[in-house]
Structure 1
Amino acid sequence: MKESIEYIDWEIISKSFREELTGEEREKLERWLVASEKHRFFYERARVGGETNPAEGVDRQVLQVRKKELMRKASKMNEKKIYRKPLRFMWYAAAIVLPLVAAIGMWLSMRGEKGEVVVAERVQPGSGRVILELNDGRTYFLDSIRSVETGVEGSFAKAESKSLVYEKQESEELVYNKMIVPRAGEYALTLSDGTRVWLNSETEIRYPVAFGKDRRTVFLSGEAYFEVEKDENKPFYVVLDDVEVKVYGTSFNVNSHYRGRVQTTLVEGKVGIRVNSTGKERILLPNQMAEYDVKKREIEVKDVETYYYTAWRKGEFVFQDETIEEIMDRLCRWYGMEVFYENEHVKEKHFSGIITRFSNVTDILHLIEETATVKFDVKENIITVSDLK
């Protein structure tokens, strides 16, 4: 029998949560778990997101090694020219694969420091909540499993586990329903043609209970990820104010939350972006993003890493050298909070990182403080942002 081991690299623990271990790594993990009850207790707490003690079997030098590795990876990413701005720092180590509270517990404990976030109470992340408005004015709050009417006689939709599923059907008369996802909410929708839509916080979508025979059109405000059912004879359209996205059986993300911009990011397939007021149209290929400038009425197409724009659907925030103002807009939508800035200068500081969306907001603010030289004060549902003095 092989000897047990006292220490293990955090990367092996992280990869085990993602089920990406090699045979050799799996053997090392098993030997480490066998070595001590403390190791097993540490591993379980990390897996479910409890507080962890880095002295319990994880080498104290692991943190510094991981930071150097992350900086090296960030440096490599800087060499790619497809991004808007170079990445300054990537703080995503364990945060990708386990609740952030465990990762922050390790980082701050190993450094012997305390974060600067002043907390009055813990604010929890968003959850599956949505309001369904029928064409006849009736309203449903979909907070439990139920079957709901659709406004079309004899037609029902099933609400289950943060998702509403419509029956497959066609209709000559279009009857529209509206789904409203408030702040601190998210929800999924399966349309009558089988198209799946994931709706982010503060998003509205208006759609027919059953599509007609010629085209499929939905109206969107906010952010949503689409997996469109292919139908060559019936194109799919997403309409956002002055922009119309024509879809040919595809996976893509649309976001109108950014001030004065509408972003369409294509994961696979093909889409056409058309400006209704000018008639201009651009075709997107996979791994490209079209950014529409509302003021200029112009579309710019660029190559991107689509993960940065779609990670929210998998439960992660990805901040790509974003300003504190942009980051706080996203956090406030998800956590249902408001933000106050001590001065204009603090809005322009930058941060990069990948963080789970299901952490307490104060845990995320702790992480941002590590590199962005800002201070956060959380009281009830208001976050005050100031310079770190």
Structure 2
Amino acid sequence: MQNLDRIVTLLKGYLSDNLTVDESAELQELLKNHPSLNELSNELKDIGQLECALQEYEILYNEINSNKEQQLLTDILLQINDKRGRNRVYHLRRQIIRYSSVAAVFIAFVVGIFFLRKHYFVIEPNEKNGQSLSENFVPGHNQATLTSSNGQTLELSDAHLGIVINKNITYNDGTELNIGQNTIEHTQLTLSTPKGGQYQVTLADGTKVWLNAATVLRYPQKFASDIRTVELEGEAYFEVARNEKAPFVVRTKNESVRVLGTHFNVNTYRDEPVSIVSLLEGSVTVSLPNKISQILKPGQQSITRTDRIDVQPVNTSEAVAWKNGEFMFNSENLVSAMNKIARWYDLEIIVEPPLREIAIWGAISRYDKFDKVLELIQLVDSRIKFKIEGRRVTLMK
């Protein structure tokens, strides 16, 4: 596998016109396989600027454990010429992505070339107030609603990470909640997050669940002795408390996921064409109503459609990136990626037809401003334009 050092060496040799015949062929093969990179590489003309960036890169790269093939931290300088012609160097120290070894090569190349360009994308300011049109597009935060089977509803505090279900219902710091019927054994509870929300819950058996934005989790205040069943719409990460006498079952619109005790992620939004279960530890059985089932091993992912289950390897750090405060995209089509962005920033994002099958690579913090999301999109294709009307964002060429 070519690594980031090798790609940088090729770029440096290209700029200084000092590539051997074999090295030139190697670089040309990369450009041939990714034509859009050819345009970008033609803009790299200043060897001095590149060397400055490489010095910073070498310092940062030494901090990386290069033996971990599944992890890649790309730290690069963002260099810009301001309107007065002075060179200003911006240090962008960010964990760009942790990818599979195959994807890492292409990601490093794309990101490296883009950030060494002499310009980068900025949202046009609003003429009235000088602010970016996306200034009010703030990332999500802790917010959720808890509803009991008697219809009582409580808006949960955004000052807390989550709630704990037991004989009484409390916040994670022990503060008690009054939702009614707390002493009734079979009370059904519903925890729901809106767009732009996330929350955590510790269930009565000790199972911990992290809810992503626009997610609904239904569960009993106290589980039955022989089975533990919950219902999910949206996305959640589960750390299931082991109990061999009482299997834990997650029911979704498409499938049921049955475990004894394990860590896994379920993505089952109603506006997505598939349900995805990604397994980090232990073993799970994914089943359809038609009796088709698959057993997953750690590092595997099931993709469930109406009448079939496909199993494939998965980089688990990507699957649970949202729980760890990141967006990670590994050759994901633009529509799917923008659905995730829209839920978290509480937006409507429209991707016009010519762009829908474009693949996106990269990673950003879920707590970055929305402008950073748009910059990431332009890493894929600098010709993509954005139209912002209220809370509607349209991607077009």
Instruction: Provide TM-score, normalisation by structure 1.
Output: 0.69
Q: Secondary structure at the match of 1:136?
A: coil
Counterparts in 2 of 1:385 and 1:333: CA distance versus 1, 3 Å: same
Deviation at 1:247, TM superposition (A): 0.8
Counterparts in 2 of 1:323 and 1:117: CA distance versus 1, 3 Å: farther
Q: Secondary structure at the match of 2:380?
A: helix
- In structure 2, the partner of 1:329 is 339
Question: Do residues 347 (structure 1) and 356 (structure 2) align?
Answer: yes
Deviation at 1:117, TM superposition (A): 3.5
Structure-to-structure mapping, 1:41-60, within 5 angstroms = 55=89
Between the two proteins, the alignment pairs up a number of residues equal to 313
Question: Do residues 287 (structure 1) and 299 (structure 2) align?
Answer: yes
Counterparts in 2 of 1:210 and 1:150: CA distance versus 1, 3 Å: same
Question: Do residues 264 (structure 1) and 277 (structure 2) align?
Answer: yes
Measured against aligned partners, the alpha-carbon deviations of 1:287-339 in whole angstroms (never above 9, x if no partner) come to: 11111112xx1111112222221111111111111121111111000100012
Question: Do residues 232 (structure 1) and 244 (structure 2) align?
Answer: yes
Q: Secondary structure at the match of 2:320?
A: helix
For residues 251 and 349 of structure 2, what CA distance do their matches in structure 1 show? Answer: 30
The answer as to whether partners of 1:252 and 1:266 remain within 8 angstroms in 2 is: yes
Counterparts in 2 of 1:165 and 1:189: CA distance versus 1, 3 Å: farther
For residues 164 and 242 of structure 1, what CA distance do their matches in structure 2 show? Answer: 36
Q: Secondary structure at the match of 2:232?
A: strand
For residues 224 and 362 of structure 1, what CA distance do their matches in structure 2 show? Answer: 27
Deviation at 1:351, TM superposition (A): 1.2
Instruction: Provide TM-score, normalisation by structure 2.
Output: 0.68
Q: What letter corresponds to residue 384 of structure 1 in structure 2? A: T
Structure-to-structure mapping, 1:1-389, within 5 angstroms = 9-10=56-57, 12-13=59-60, 55=89, 76-78=101-103, 89-90=106-107, 111-115=117-121, 117-118=123-124, 119-122=132-135, 123-144=137-158, 155-159=168-172, 173-257=185-269, 259-276=272-289, 278-294=290-306, 297-341=307-351, 343-372=352-381, 373-387=383-397
Counterparts in 2 of 1:130 and 1:350: CA distance versus 1, 3 Å: same
For residues 149 and 226 of structure 1, what CA distance do their matches in structure 2 show? Answer: 15
Counterparts in 2 of 1:239 and 1:54: CA distance versus 1, 3 Å: farther
Q: What letter corresponds to residue 382 of structure 1 in structure 2? A: R
Task: Return the structure number with greater relative CO, CA threshold 8 A, min gap 6.
Answer: 1
Measured against aligned partners, the alpha-carbon deviations of 1:179-220 in whole angstroms (never above 9, x if no partner) come to: 111101111111111111011011000011111211111000
For residues 184 and 197 of structure 2, what CA distance do their matches in structure 1 show? Answer: 33
Measured against aligned partners, the alpha-carbon deviations of 1:156-190 in whole angstroms (never above 9, x if no partner) come to: 322559x9999xxx999421100111101111111
Q: Secondary structure at the match of 1:232?
A: coil
For residues 220 and 208 of structure 2, what CA distance do their matches in structure 1 show? Answer: 14
For residues 262 and 238 of structure 1, what CA distance do their matches in structure 2 show? Answer: 12
The answer as to whether partners of 1:121 and 1:379 remain within 8 angstroms in 2 is: no
Counterparts in 2 of 1:262 and 1:74: CA distance versus 1, 3 Å: closer
Q: Secondary structure at the match of 1:362?
A: helix
Measured against aligned partners, the alpha-carbon deviations of 1:256-303 in whole angstroms (never above 9, x if no partner) come to: 136221111100101011112x11221111111111112xx1111112
For residues 55 and 246 of structure 1, what CA distance do their matches in structure 2 show? Answer: 53
Deviation at 1:111, TM superposition (A): 3.1
Counterparts in 2 of 1:89 and 1:380: CA distance versus 1, 3 Å: farther
Q: Which runs of 5+ in 2 are unaligned?
A: 1-51, 67-76, 78-86, 125-131
- Once the two structures are aligned, what percentage of the paired residues are identical? 28
Counterparts in 2 of 1:88 and 1:202: CA distance versus 1, 3 Å: farther
Measured against aligned partners, the alpha-carbon deviations of 1:78-120 in whole angstroms (never above 9, x if no partner) come to: 5xxxxxxxx88426999xxxxxxxx9xxx76x53313154441
Q: Which runs of 5+ in 1 are unaligned?
A: 1-5, 22-41, 43-52, 79-86, 95-102
Q: Secondary structure at the match of 1:120?
A: coil
Counterparts in 2 of 1:144 and 1:312: CA distance versus 1, 3 Å: closer
For residues 377 and 320 of structure 1, what CA distance do their matches in structure 2 show? Answer: 25
Q: What letter corresponds to residue 352 of structure 1 in structure 2? A: W
Deviation at 1:9, TM superposition (A): 3.1
Deviation at 1:364, TM superposition (A): 1.4
The answer as to whether partners of 1:179 and 1:204 remain within 8 angstroms in 2 is: yes
For residues 54 and 325 of structure 1, what CA distance do their matches in structure 2 show? Answer: 35
- In structure 1, the partner of 2:44 is none
Q: Secondary structure at the match of 1:331?
A: helix
Counterparts in 2 of 1:171 and 1:285: CA distance versus 1, 3 Å: farther
- In structure 1, the partner of 2:47 is none
- In structure 2, the partner of 1:32 is none
For residues 165 and 148 of structure 2, what CA distance do their matches in structure 1 show? Answer: 6
For residues 177 and 327 of structure 2, what CA distance do their matches in structure 1 show? Answer: 26
Q: What letter corresponds to residue 342 of structure 2 in structure 1? A: C
RMSD: 4.1
